[in-house]
Amino acid sequence: MTDAARTVLITGCSSGLGRETALALHRLGHRVHATARRPETLADLAGLGITTLALDVTDEASMAAAVAAVETAHGQVDLLVNNAAYGLHLPVETAGREEIRAQFDTNVFGLVRMAQLVLPGMRRAGRGRIVNISSMAGRFSPPGGAFYHASKHAVEAISDSLRLEVAPFGVEVVVVQPGPTITGFAATAVATMHGEADPADPYAGFRSRLAEMYGGRTFTRRNGAVPAEAATRVVVRAATAARPRARYAVGALARSTMLAKRLLPDAAFDALMRRSFPLPEPVRAA
């Protein structure tokens, strides 16, 4: 362990970006605590010497226990990587209240609570960094993506306020904005698009086409998705840079889409969305 080693706590390490980030920071000599709802999914990380913990970002006791364990061992969390999230993709009209609440519990409220739990220790130490994994989804919203994208809009807004609030205490807040990344995210997102077959559902065909798009071509290199390793390098940069930027976009598609959203009139950006995503088809009277 080097003098520059930091105590790191990462949420959502069972797969994808969280797992790769835990491995990368461990290789750099940091004291990594990788967490997941089901710690048995982290057995291979534990075998490499990474400390693993159970942590469910929708459960207060679980979050508090994980942070307390790290602070008991090391004094405080130096770096929190808020990675745990998933994508709910459903039409606004038919999404269930519990589905919407679960999306925000994981993607927003869990992220906020983790920050609240580590900040007292960071303030006492006079240093610390919180890296919030947002998405290019935090800058626009396509058909079918209202609630996932809204959750990432919330992460962007919360991070902006938090960055200013904790800077006087020596704590930094950084946002990472991946575009489509080749991980298990797509499979989880597609699973939320399918529902019980209902011929009266005006969005059934739309959901089917959306699932086909996400499951088939969206998360491929050919269509601009980046490998998990490339996204991980950006997260590590955000976590370790001496003078981090407020935001790090990941991938050309993320940068170009967010730029288009910023520069184009709403009507022009809506036209881009209509060309890029399926839309519901009205049922025509016989």
Sorted by where each begins, the domain ranges of the chain are: 7-276
Marked catalytic residue, from 135, 151, 152, 159? 152
Please indicate whether residue 214 is annotated as part of the active site.
Answer: no
Please indicate whether residue 152 is annotated as part of the active site.
Answer: yes
- Would you state the pLDDT for residue 232? 95
Marked catalytic residue, from 134, 135, 151, 159? 134
- CA 125 vs. chain centroid, Å, equals 27
- Would you state the pLDDT for residue 228? 84
Please indicate whether residue 276 is annotated as part of the active site.
Answer: no
Please indicate whether residue 248 is annotated as part of the active site.
Answer: no
Rounded CA gap, 224 and 212, in Å? 17
Q: What is the pLDDT along the chain (286 residues), one digit of tens a residue?
A: 344 899 999 999 998 899 999 999 999 999 999 999 999 999 999 999 999 999 999 999 999 999 999 999 999 999 999 999 999 999 999 999 999 999 999 999 999 999 999 999 999 999 999 999 999 999 999 999 999 999 999 999 999 999 999 999 999 999 999 988 776 666 666 777 766 557 688 898 898 888 888 877 666 666 667 888 899 999 999 999 999 999 999 989 999 999 999 999 999 999 999 999 999 988 765 5
Looking at this protein, which amino acid is placed at residue 251? Answer: G
- Would you state the pLDDT for residue 184? 67
Marked catalytic residue, from 148, 203, 214, 248? 148
Classify 8 as helix, strand or coil. strand
Rounded CA gap, 6 and 25, in Å? 9
- Would you state the pLDDT for residue 2? 41
The CATH classification number of 7-276 equals: 3.40.50.720
| Helix or strand (DSSP H, E) at 133 | strand 128-133
- Would you state the pLDDT for residue 1? 34
